Amino acid sequence: MDTALATRSGLPPAFGYLLDAFPRDRWTSGLDETAAFWLQMHASFRGHQAHMDGLVGQWRANGDAAALHRQLIPALQSFLQHLDGHHRIESGQYFPIMRRIEPKIGAGIDLLDRDHDAIHETLEAMFRDGMAFHQAVAAGAPDVADTANRLSDRVDANARPLLRHLEDEEDIVIPLIQLRGLHG
């Protein structure tokens, strides 16, 4: 099975044994506080992405670069900071604990860490494209539409891999927290 974030369609079956023991349909109530918070954070990232997708859709429909700039740049800045900080905490603090608690899931945690690396590359590209767009708007440059299109394309391209990662991470992490706790 392909495990590259850009092309995978789900987790390899070997990483799903905890999900088999604690499936998504049981995630509605009685969740550990950390698991519930994790899902709230992921819902926030999905909301950020959807908001940016909507702004890009409006831009593509009306071509109003000033409106796109006014709305997308602050949304993008918040998204980039929030997601980068979240991944740093996961990779630096939570994932090492999870490896100790459940060594069998180590390969799944490695997969999620590789996802973080791939997503970070995209975040850096989004930052660069966002800066180029901002600078073009600020300077009244003739290539504003081109920079807006590049940023919009980058926002569009981010959605599928981000959503895939969030779902796959939840399928590993939420059952692990519920079944084993995070006391490592």
What are 81's two structure tokens?
């900071």
Q: pLDDT at position 8, please?
A: 94
Q: pLDDT at position 124, please?
A: 96
10-residue block means of pLDDT along the chain (184 residues)?
A: 89 91 91 94 97 98 97 98 94 95 94 95 96 98 97 96 96 95 71
pTM score, whole prediction: 0.94
What are 69's two structure tokens?
């700039």
Measured between alpha carbons, how far is residue 170 from residues 11, 24, 71, 90, 118 in Å? 11, 9, 30, 12, 18
Q: Cα-Cα-Cα-Cα dihedral of 81, 45, 88, 76, to 10°?
A: -20
Q: pLDDT at position 184, please?
A: 53
d(CA 153, CA 145): 12
Q: pLDDT at position 2, please?
A: 80
d(CA 171, CA 17): 10
Chain-centre distance of CA 38, in angstroms? 12
Q: pLDDT at position 122, please?
A: 93
Q: pLDDT at position 183, please?
A: 66
